[in-house]
Structure 1
């Protein structure tokens, strides 16, 4: 350009860091974001400082991947040296997944002091070398955590206490398959973290549910399937009053026919999704209490609940005015009369899963379809899956 000296010309290289950071943040193509740092060392540093999430190739974030993958074949050795280099480079991480790093040790987590102050989400699923000492380091260096997953970790109540004392802002905690925790550690979490929204304790054999007693009203999502729950534990689970999703499928035989009735005694009025699959001791007393005490119930899984008879089906039909999905797969005591009751009730029902009910005749099913053509009859057994409440955080 004529009349302009070379010194007066400004290029993108002359932009201050905050402007370049804004440019990087506006990039919506992953390829562009990954190649951004190839421009120069300065832009590489800006790319590093802008990174908010880090997940290793060996990380597993859901159960299906864990089942289908062999940890022994896919888990690289991640140690303190690797973590130090990564955390020095990415100092403003908010989400970190170390899941599947089976060789990771407690002392390796000391490197969290480089980036832990900003972390909000931490996944340590199947980190078999992480114990209470490692959990203490997590609490020390990551005080702002809101989500932590400790699936299959070798932690105890002692570690949970130290975590709850240090990370009171926790909202989502996964303790599934943690064989060494009990209600004592669970109580430390539910009492110390009063913003708690989601708790998963599936297959935690030492948990009876009592540890939930007095939990915060913010607790809306609980997965406690395949636990050895007790009647008092059921009361504890619903004691917060804010529960919207509850999965206690496969509950142990210590729960008798009427022991689930506390779910319907006024503490779970916000409950929308309830999974009682394979609770074979569930009887009509519990069904009647729940159908009356949970007016907002939208999805109910009663597959393989053989203790429900015509009285229970009639209670569901008469009381569950908001029920949209009902699972009755392989219920031995669901007969034509029970199906007739469901047909004449449950005005909002849209999906009925009814696979393997041998006492129901083809005629009854065809009549149901004629009278309730708006209801989709599903023949295959499908598990009740609730909303991901953690995504609302």
Structure 2
């Protein structure tokens, strides 16, 4: 009944709080907080996580937030994020001489916001300082949120050991600490080890001010709880720190190392001492096969192994891992030039639980190695092959034959893979959900017709893979309208499509997608010279859920097509349309005015009118400022 509040009068606070806690979307929670003052206070009461950027004064924001949110357990401060105060509301229209309490309140609020904004934006060096979290902000954070358990300080260069020490003394319940890019020294880290004895996760990537002294002090203090450690680009953190970890951190499960100062001695110490090690990610040029021989002997619980840019890791190390790490599920090999098919075969034969494999730039791995994966790893669900020139069609034939559970396949610059491989995948992996292909052809080669993904392969995917939700065919020169017609008919659950650079695709193909894929949310048709207004019109009619649209370099798209699309696609959030001569300032204005959810428009600056600039300057981005 009109005039009666059935929800607030009927539901207690506890039940409304329970509802708020079940909302997994921040925009939804924010919307609920705007219903009434009661819901605003309850939503603040139920909020447990805060994210703070740095384009406004973080120190000031921390103080303000601590007064409003009382049950925060996780705080993420990231100086790469953008955060700004909203513009002041327009003045209320009122009759001459009248003055209401609400208008007075609004004026006071606007005045306070302007003063705060002017204070933080005035001055050059002072302004730069105000846009970065300092020790004062960290101390305010500790005093305002003494019970926090998870804290991330990402690229906060003005936070020193003094601030970190003050925080450690107050926030003794910390379980996760991320200091990526912070220049804190040994004293601050030692304080964390002394006061935060429940710490489980620690990220020290790019913390250049640290040495073994600080790391060892922390390890000794948190030895009984520490489960995850990450270290990268810390030149003074050496094998001594890892020896301390291996001796004291018996519960360690996750280790990430990116360092030229780490050798076999340090890795072996961790492997022998931390028998629960589950995830090992290394980029250490001085670690050799000798260390991985120990990994194979001691890491029986290892599930995730990622190796990057190894210069002294060969098939010998791979064979040790395949022999001992029977529970391995996730393998990444990136730029490991001395690993060949023999090594991958050893992994495939020994690690039959593998569900994810990524091979990136390992030029000595070819068809035979991947065939072994297809024969032995029946549980494989994700396969990423990047810059693998020696892998041919028969490898994917075996994957299609043996890996029936495959859901994700990424192929980047794999010149030996063509339509025959795609047909094998389509027929064997009918549960495929994500297929990404980029430039799978070999230029200036007599066998180019036999090693290129074209219509035949994609048609097979459309006919057989009914669960496909993501399809990316970037710069696949032989893919045309026939391929998209098959996808439109067979893949009704498709949500993301990227056909940028597929110059044979025109209105016929895009129209088929528009009619057959109503759940489409992301579409990239950039650099398609045969696509025009007909495609945009059909997309408007058939894809009302479209959120992201990229149509840069589409010379036959005009304001008319764009107008029809935005009038139907009310959920559009981003639109890239640079180098489209048919789109004018009127088209840009149409997008801005018709799409209430729009967040970003990429366009040439000269196509933006003054009125559009005033109305939506914050969402406009320019690729070419002086064009």
Q: Which TM-score band applies after superposition, normalised by the shorter structure?
A: 0.7 to 0.9
* Distance change in 2, residues 1:107/1:358 (3 Å): same
Aligned mate of 1:265, from 439, 463, 473:
463
Task: Report deviation, 1:344.
Answer: 2.2
Task: Report deviation, 1:291.
Answer: 1.5
For residues 324-360 of structure 1, what are the alpha-carbon distances to aligned partners after superposition, in whole Å with 9 as ceiling and x for unaligned? 2111112111112222222222243333222221111
Which one has the largest radius of gyration? 2
Higher mean Cα deviation, 183-192 or 160-169? Answer: 183-192
Contact 2:421–2:457 (Cα < 8 Å) also in 1: no
Task: Report deviation, 1:37.
Answer: 5.7
- 1:300 maps to 497
Aligned mate of 2:327, from 136, 139, 144:
144
Aligned mate of 2:385, from 201, 208, 225:
201
Q: 1:262, 1:316 → 2: CA distance? A: 16
Contact 1:187–1:213 (Cα < 8 Å) also in 2: no
Q: 1:45, 1:249 → 2: CA distance? A: 43
Aligned mate of 1:246, from 426, 431, 435:
435
Secondary structure of 2:373's aligned partner = helix
Q: 1:371, 1:358 → 2: CA distance? A: 22
Task: Report deviation, 1:248.
Answer: 0.8
Higher relative contact order (CA 8 A, sep 6+): 1
- 1:170 maps to 354
- 1:8 maps to none
Q: 2:437, 2:246 → 1: CA distance? A: 48
Task: Report deviation, 1:27.
Answer: 6.5
- 2:412 maps to 225
Task: Report deviation, 1:232.
Answer: 1.1
Higher mean Cα deviation, 129-138 or 30-39? Answer: 30-39
- The 5 Å alignment of 1:1-393 reads 28-30=175-177, 31=192, 32=196, 33=198, 38=220, 48-58=249-259, 75-79=260-264, 81-98=265-282, 100-113=283-296, 115-154=298-337, 155-211=339-395, 212-228=399-415, 229-238=417-426, 239-252=428-441, 254-266=452-464, 268-379=465-576
Secondary structure of 2:435's aligned partner = strand
Q: 1:352, 1:214 → 2: CA distance? A: 36
Task: Report deviation, 1:293.
Answer: 1.7
* Distance change in 2, residues 1:156/1:150 (3 Å): same
Contact 2:223–2:249 (Cα < 8 Å) also in 1: no
* Distance change in 2, residues 1:232/1:164 (3 Å): same
Task: Report deviation, 1:305.
Answer: 1.4
Contact 2:506–2:528 (Cα < 8 Å) also in 1: no
For residues 50-103 of structure 1, what are the alpha-carbon distances to aligned partners after superposition, in whole Å with 9 as ceiling and x for unaligned? 111112143xxxxxxxxxxxxxxxx22522x222222233222111112x2123
Secondary structure of 1:178's aligned partner = coil
Q: 1:39, 1:261 → 2: CA distance? A: 60
- 1:15 maps to none
* Distance change in 2, residues 1:276/1:88 (3 Å): same
* Distance change in 2, residues 1:312/1:129 (3 Å): same
Q: 1:138, 1:177 → 2: CA distance? A: 20
Contact 1:94–1:121 (Cα < 8 Å) also in 2: yes
Q: 1:346, 1:40 → 2: CA distance? A: 53
Q: 2:577, 2:275 → 1: CA distance? A: 49
Q: 1:339, 1:375 → 2: CA distance? A: 13
Structure 2 residue runs of 5 or longer lacking an equivalent are 1-172, 178-191, 200-216, 226-244, 442-447, 579-599, 601-627
Contact 1:258–1:283 (Cα < 8 Å) also in 2: no
Q: 1:295, 1:40 → 2: CA distance? A: 52
Secondary structure of 2:286's aligned partner = coil
For residues 207-235 of structure 1, what are the alpha-carbon distances to aligned partners after superposition, in whole Å with 9 as ceiling and x for unaligned? 23432231323211111122122211012
Contact 2:462–2:486 (Cα < 8 Å) also in 1: yes
For residues 123-168 of structure 1, what are the alpha-carbon distances to aligned partners after superposition, in whole Å with 9 as ceiling and x for unaligned? 1121132121110011122121111111121322211111111110
